[in-house]
């Protein structure tokens, strides 16, 4: 440094200072006749260059720095402050070991925060990088605490932080906030509705310096996330969904000392049903708030400062500029919390004296009705009995009335009745079977409840239901019975009809085999939608794979590196580590392992690989890998014990490889392939465009139409027992209709078919969605010649079970009976079978033509070309399309708008069973998108969505 200063001083003075680094020796100077003839300007330039080099070589290199600090020196019990450890300009680092301090809970606040800063001063660029580790410190008791020094490993050396101290105190709530729960009744029974009101009094905060009083809305925003609402949680959730909050009212309340003070009063109402006697339990209600201590005016740069650098201000004046570039913020807070005090509302038990045997715990006043689906049956036939209970009490707690007295004349389903609530009525459904023909009615069913207003037990009962039971001629008690008269009249057929078992319907006729419905538990199980894509690629790709494998086996001696890369990532990396000759090769091998094991592209750089490790929860492994790479780089520049150090680094790399592989195998999550540009702006905008934008546009277009759409959708809530009962009835109706049809009674067969369709549709409306039930419904509509609906449900079933041969055959038959053009036929499985056979046969003939030159190779090529065309058609038909619907009418009227008031713009004839793309839905109308002549609004009832 001193030598450089002397050179610089000599240059500034214009002297003839001779640098010791100059290559001009005494011998060379002898050839210069007159040294004074050398250009003094050139001499000064060389002197300046040498001075800069000397100063640069003499200046010491800067090392990494570690700084630890607390976010505040004052803390409150159970409220956290931040400990920040900042590491600057470090190549590698290891997180410190956090000490254990009595009375403190210290936890990591997440992944480290990284930042970089680049500055250019007088054309000289410098950059600084820093990593900040954040920890949350929560005191559990008051007192003075000290965090001892912590050791941080930075670039291979240990750096100690300074000790840090702070004081924790208890934040007294005092009279700043009061909480009370008030019941509107002084005395209620268990199960009786009780209306409660949560009252929160909060002292408004006034900043004397700024002379600013916070409003009731601003004080409400200070509520903490630690708040627990208890039984008022549903009310708060409803408010949040409606973007509302309790309104604060200015009130005056006396403190316990008798002083009157102003408060903001917030009230929240709810209704509960106490389930045990005693006092109302409000232990789970805790209101927490970050009460303000100081306000501050925070200035921010306005748009004019950003545009003009803050030199000209706002063109609208200083007052406008001040209002637009400043805001009021809460500078300091302290936590306060208050538990709720409950008034003297008492919950008393229901009296035991005078309880009827039919009492099941219902409190309130109720009404009950009973109805059946049949009035005329044969002995042993199932009768669906449904009970409906309504009243002013809690329907959730109402249990099914006892039915034991019915066992004298009926066989009752032994499964418990769960019940479901719909439109303010709770329904219980079960199946009963009359034992013999002597049964003439369903007796009254009793239900008892306790009326809290009169404090007495009351019993209600249904009216007896008259039925007619006939003797079963060929019916076993446990067999499934057939045609029933679904009307409530007592008249029926002249004689009962016994239905054959389902197996008897499966005779030699292929047509009956195709239209046989599925039955059993599989029909009641939801199913994921399937696709033929995998089978398509298997059928068409397997011959190519077989040929490729044969080629690789034949030329396996020429592809050793390819077979090595086919090994698992860990084995491939371990083999490469065994062949390492210099330490510089180790980081690249481990980088390749990270790329392969996490599904990254080969061009992903080193820093992105470290980021992927940290994002998957391997921050410690990323730090170890970074430290190992740094040591490999430093070792490569030395020659001391090179072989020993290389061996040690290889051992460390293999150990890191073992630990990261073990950690990955224990992780339950499967790491999917991530694109290297997933965090870039283009990918983010693409994701928004594909997901958020369509949802937002749909919500904006149908905001006012949602009530109409929901009103047109009928949702039936059925439990598992009820679903099984409805399925059994649907199967019985279908088999009975088939029997009626075989005997020539077309009218009864059609009625029974439609009854089966209604029950299958009821199961679909209850949430069951699978290929079997839609195929059953398609078979029903096929039997009654509603071929458009049949095609629709066959195609829906195709989306669940695309490999179902019977469903595909039924769909082809239905489309053919409709007279649809061949180009409108939907038969991906048929295309796949034809194309697959031609594809395999073509390759087989082509492979044989190499041995037999007499074969016609052009026939094989023609087969392959035709099979490729079949593959294209198959992929086009199996590709899922959104907004697809099938027309169920032969003539589809298209109007100019969504209503009868708009004129008919076009009539599409002969379109039953054809598919259309639906763009929008408005109430009972939907927009068909297509060509100009095939666009318009059609009725939703004329279309069935796929």
Contacts of 231 (CB under 8 A, 6+ apart): 196, 270, 272, 284, 285
| Low-confidence residues of the chain: pLDDT under 50 | 1-38, 49, 51-62, 303-324, 474-509, 668-715, 854
The pair of structure tokens assigned to 429 is 């459904």
Residue 470, CB-side half-sphere exposure with 13 Å CA sphere: 19
d(CA 794, CA 197): 55
The stretches of 488-584 forming alpha helices (DSSP H) are 502-505, 510-514, 533-554, 560-565, 569-578
Strands (E), 349-445: 359-363, 366-372, 376-378, 383-391, 410-412, 420-422, 425-434, 441-442
Chain centroid, CA 188 distance in Å? 43
In the prediction, which pLDDT does 204 show? 93
What's the residue count for the chain? Answer: 946
Residue 767, CB-side half-sphere exposure with 13 Å CA sphere: 8
In the prediction, which pLDDT does 407 show? 87
Q: Is 331 helix (H, G, I), strand (E, B) or coil?
A: strand
d(CA 937, CA 906): 10
Q: Would you state the torsion angle of the CA atoms of residues 844, 845, 847, 853, taken in this order, to the nearest 10 degrees? A: 160
Beta bridge partners of 504: none
d(CA 711, CA 310): 58
Nearest to 663 by CA among 621, 627, 629: 621
In the prediction, which pLDDT does 20 show? 36
User: Which DSSP state fits 690?
Assistant: I
């Amino acid at each position: 440094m001193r030598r450089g200063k002397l050179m610089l001083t000599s240059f500034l003075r214009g002297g003839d200072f001779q640098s010791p680094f100059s290559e001009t020796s005494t011998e060379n100077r002898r050839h210069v006749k007159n040294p004074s003839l050398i250009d003094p300007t050139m001499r000064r330039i060389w002197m300046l260059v040498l001075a800069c080099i000397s100063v640069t070589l003499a200046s010491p290199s800067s090392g990494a720095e570690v700084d630890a600090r607390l976010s505040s020196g004052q803390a409150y019990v159970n409220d956290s402050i931040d400990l920040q450890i900042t590491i600057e300009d470090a190549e590698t680092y290891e997180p410190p070991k956090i000490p254990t301090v009595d009375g403190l809970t210290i936890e990591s606040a997440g992944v480290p925060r990284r930042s970089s800063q680049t500055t250019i001063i007088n054309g000289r660029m410098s950059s600084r990088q820093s990593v900040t580790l954040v920890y949350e410190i929560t005191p559990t008791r008051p007192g003075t605490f000290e965090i001892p020094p912590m050791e941080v490993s930075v670039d291979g050396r240990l750096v100690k932080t300074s000790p840090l101290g702070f004081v924790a105190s208890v934040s007294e709530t005092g009279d700043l906030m009061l909480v009370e729960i008030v019941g509107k009744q002084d005395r209620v029974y268990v199960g009786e509705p009780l209306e409660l009101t949560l009252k929160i009094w909060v002292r408004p905060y006034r900043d004397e310096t700024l002379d600013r009083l916070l409003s009731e809305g601003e004080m409400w925003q200070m509520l903490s996330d630690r708040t627990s609402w208890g039984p008022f949680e549903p009310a708060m959730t409803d408010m949040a969904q409606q973007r509302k909050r309790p309104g604060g009212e200015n009130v005056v309340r006396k403190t316990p000392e008798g002083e009157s003070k102003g408060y903001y009063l917030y009230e929240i109402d709810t209704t509960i049903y106490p389930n045990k006697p005693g006092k109302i339990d409000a232990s789970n209600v805790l209101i927490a708030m970050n009460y303000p201590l100081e306000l501050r005016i925070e200035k921010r740069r306005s748009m004019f400062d950003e545009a003009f650098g803050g030199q000209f201000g706002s063109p609208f004046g200083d007052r406008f500029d001040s209002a637009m570039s400043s805001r009021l913020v809460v500078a300091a807070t302290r936590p306060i919390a208050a538990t709720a005090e409950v008034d003297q509302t008492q919950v008393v038990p229901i009296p035991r004296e005078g309880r009827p045997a039919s009492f099941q715990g219902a409190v309130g006043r109720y009404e009950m009705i009973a109805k059946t689906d049949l009035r005329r049956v044969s002995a042993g036939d199932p009768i669906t009995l449904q009970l409906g209970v309504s009243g002013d009490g809690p329907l959730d707690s109402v249990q099914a009335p006892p039915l034991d007295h019915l066992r004298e004349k009926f066989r009752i389903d032994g499964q418990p009745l769960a019940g479901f609530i719909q439109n303010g009525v709770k329904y219980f459904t079960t199946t009963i079977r009359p034992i013999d023909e002597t049964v003439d009615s369903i007796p009254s069913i009793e239900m008892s409840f306790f009326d809290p207003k009169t404090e007495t037990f009351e019993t209600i009962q249904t009216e007896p239901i008259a039925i007619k039971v006939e003797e079963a001629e060929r019916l076993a008690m446990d067999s499934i019975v057939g045609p029933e008269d679904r009307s409530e009249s007592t008249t029926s057929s002249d004689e009962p009809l016994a239905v054959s078992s389902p197996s008897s319907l499966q005779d030699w006729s292929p047509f009956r085999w195709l239209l046989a419905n599925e039955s059993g538990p599989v029909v009641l199980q939801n199913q994921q939608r399937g696709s033929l894509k995998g089978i398509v690629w298997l059928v068409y790709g397997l011959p190519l794979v077989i040929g490729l494998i044969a080629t690789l086996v034949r030329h396996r001696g020429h592809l050793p590196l390819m077979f090595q890369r086919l090994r698992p990532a860990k084995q491939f990396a371990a083999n490469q580590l065994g062949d390492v000759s210099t330490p510089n090769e180790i980081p690249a091998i481990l980088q390749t392992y990270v790329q392969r094991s996490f599904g990254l592209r080969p061009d992903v750089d080193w820093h992105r690989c470290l980021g992927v490790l940290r994002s998957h929860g391997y921050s410690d492994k990323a730090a170890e890998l970074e430290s190992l790479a740094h040591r490999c780089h430093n070792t490569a520049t030395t020659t001391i014990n090179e072989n020993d150090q290389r061996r040690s680094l290889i051992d460390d790399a293999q150990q890191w490889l073992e630990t990261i592989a073990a950690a990955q195998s224990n992780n339950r999550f499967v790491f999917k392939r991530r694109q290297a540009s997933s965090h870039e702006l283009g990918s983010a905008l693409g994701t928004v465009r594909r997901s958020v934008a369509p949802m937002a546009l749909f919500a904006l277009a149908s905001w006012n139409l949602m009530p109409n759409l929901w009103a047109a959708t009928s949702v039936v809530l059925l439990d598992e027992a009820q679903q099984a009962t409805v399925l059994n009835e649907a199967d019985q109706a279908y088999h009975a209709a088939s029997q009626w049809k075989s005997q020539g009674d077309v009218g009864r067969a059609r009625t029974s078919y439609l009854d089966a369709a209604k029950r299958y549709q009821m199961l679909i409306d209850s949430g069951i969605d699978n290929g079997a039930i839609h195929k059953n419904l398609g078979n029903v509509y096929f039997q009654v010649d509603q071929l458009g609906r049949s095609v629709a449900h066959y195609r829906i079933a195709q989306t669940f079970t695309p490999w179902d041969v019977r469903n595909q055959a039924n769909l082809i038959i239905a489309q053919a009976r409709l007279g649809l053009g061949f180009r409108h036929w939907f038969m991906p499985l048929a295309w796949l079978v034809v194309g697959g056979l031609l594809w395999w046969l073509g390759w087989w003939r082509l492979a044989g033509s190499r041995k037999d030159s007499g074969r016609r190779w052009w026939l094989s090529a023609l087969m392959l070309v035709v099979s490729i065309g079949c593959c294209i058609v198959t992929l086009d038909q199996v590709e899922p399309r959104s907004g697809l619907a099938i027309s169920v009418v032969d003539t589809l009227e298209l109007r100019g708008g969504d209503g009868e008031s708009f004129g008919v713009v076009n009539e599409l004839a002969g379109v039953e069973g054809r598919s259309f793309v639906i763009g929008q839905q408005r109430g009972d109308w939907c927009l068909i998108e297509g060509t100009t002549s095939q666009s318009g609004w059609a009725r939703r009832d004329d279309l069935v969505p796929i």
